[in-house]
Amino acid sequence: MGVHGTGGPGAAPSVGVEEEFLLVDAVTGECVPGAEAVLAEAGAHRWAATGGSFQAELLTSQVEAATGVCRDLAELGEQLRFGRA
């Protein structure tokens, strides 16, 4: 994790979050391939309107959810709640 400035001196700070999710069988707890189906369902999610996104990862049992760039923690919290709904 790092801190990257996007503006010059005095630029307002921003924050964003990326979450990695492993897809597991509810009974066995084993990782299961299912990213394609999850991403197809997520494509219909309105989170993209807020700058959020769902993306594939290297493993077919893993997906990433990322917020957009937020101006403050309140906006970040709102995006996280909306994306997780």
CB 14 within 8 A of CB 6: yes
Is pLDDT at 3 greater than 80 in this prediction? no
pLDDT band at 42 (very low <50, low <70, confident <90, very high): confident
pLDDT tens column, 4-20: 555 667 778 899 999 99
Please classify residue 26 by burial: count the beta carbons closer than 10 Å to its beta carbon, then call 0-12 exposed, 13-18 middle and 19+ buried.
exposed
pLDDT of residue 27: 97
Q: Give me the sheet containing 62-66, strands edge to edge.
A: 18-22, 62-66, 53-56
- Beta bridge partners of residue 66, listed in sequence order: 18, 53
Query: Taking residues 51-77, what's their average pLDDT?
Result: 92
CA–CA separation, 2 and 20 (whole Å): 17
